[in-house]
Amino acid sequence: MTRPAIPLAGVIGNPVGHSLSPGLHGHWLRRYGIRGHYVPLQVGEDDLAQVIRALPRMGFVGANVTIPHKRAVLDIADQASDRAILMGAANTLTFLEDGRILADNTDAHGFLANLRQEAPDWDPSRGPACVLGAGGAARAVIAALLEAGVPEVILTNRTRPKAEALRADLGTRVRVLDWVQAGNAVDEAETVVNTTSLGMEGQPELRVPLDGLRPGKLVTDIVYAPLRTRLLRVAEDEGCTTVDGLGMLLHQAVPGFERWFGKRPEVDREARDAVLK
Ligand code: ATR
């Protein structure tokens, strides 16, 4: 299969209408004058394998994958990166000219790249990190924090067995606390990350005790709607460094765009504005 003259890419999900990816990739394509297209693809579970295998023949060079297909695509791809295997999920597919489909997971990269860009003085080795929540996003966040060199991750989740399972997968530098002890985890940590859906529009607020937030701590939230969650507002009032969750979403898109369209895109104010429109 030769590279198509007008490369196509898209995001596969169900539903997919809410995805910010078409706005972001569309912005980058226009900004760099690249002749290509990026489209939302709403695909149900039963059609997933057939649609993915048909995409390269239609001129697609790759695709992002979102809920609920991030696990299932690992079985459809010919090869998965170590990171995708560790995550048990992929969010980026690349269709090679020899017909092979590669699956990768860029969520951990996105999380870390966002912190490095928005909080350049952040020193992960300064002390433990506290991770609130143990869902799919937490897995990427914990892997990223350990890779960045935090001495320990204190993990707390409403459903404790899910936290224990993550620790079993991700290693001994993860310590599990009960959800009722979340305030202690926040107090002990130098880096605090919310990976739960609490605080998102339409969801209840995150109500863990936050008196342990002190100046110098780094606090970030993977929720990006609203941008300034209650956690970030309280942290800012307490003098912490705060980073919102939109940057993670933008940065996780960078490796795919670069592979498919041959240009490493900037995550800057313009890119943020493009998805917030
Ligand atoms: P994602 O893949 O985005 O992480 P998820 O796998 O559905 O989404 O995980 C959502 C996280 O938010 C989980 O940690 C969940 O806690 P449980 O494992 O106990 O379900 C957490 N969460 C959602 N609603 C919550 C609530 N009302 N109180 C506490 N935690 C909540």
Out of 33-37, 71-75, 168-172, pick the least confident: 168-172
Q: Which of 70, 217, 263, 277 is catalytic?
A: 70
Ligand 1 probe mutation, 111, 155, 197, most atoms within 8 A of CB: 197
SS (H, E, C) 228-260: CCHHHHHHHHCCCEEECCHHHHHHHCHHHHHHH
The binding-site residues of ligand 1, defined as CB within 6 angstroms of any ligand atom, are 133-138, 157-159, 162, 195-198, 204
pLDDT at 261 over 80: yes
**Entry field: residues in the chain:** 277
Indicate the pLDDT class of residue 238, thresholds 50, 70 and 90: very high
CA 159 – ligand 1 centroid, Å: 8
- Here the ipTM equals 0.96
Could you give the percent of the chain with pLDDT greater than 70?
100
Question: pTM for the complete prediction?
Answer: 0.95
Indicate the pLDDT class of residue 235, thresholds 50, 70 and 90: very high
Nearest to 89 by CA among 73, 109, 100: 73
Distance of CA 130 to the CA centre of its chain: 17
State residue 2's pLDDT score.
84
> Any idea what DSSP says for residue 35?
-
Q: Bridge partners of 9? A: 38, 62
pLDDT at 67 over 80: yes
Tell me whether the omega of the peptide bond preceding residue 15 falls within 30 degrees of 0, making it cis.
Answer: yes
| Residues 87/140, Cβ–Cβ less than 8 Å | yes
CA 196 – ligand 1 centroid, Å: 5
State residue 229's pLDDT score.
97
Residue 66 is assigned to a ligand binding site: yes
CA 197 – ligand 1 centroid, Å: 6
Give the ligand 1 atom nearest the CA of 179.
29
Question: Domains in the chain, ordered, with CATH?
Answer: 8-106+253-276 (3.40.50.10860), 108-245 (3.40.50.720)
pLDDT at 72 over 80: yes
Indicate the pLDDT class of residue 277, thresholds 50, 70 and 90: confident
State residue 172's pLDDT score.
87
CA distance 75 to 170: 22
Starting at the earlier edge strand, list the strands of the sheet with 174-178. 174-178, 153-157, 129-132, 191-194, 218-221, 241-243
Nearest to 186 by CA among 148, 158, 146, 219: 219
Clarify whether 277 is annotated catalytic: no
Cα Rg for the chain, rounded, in angstroms?
Answer: 19
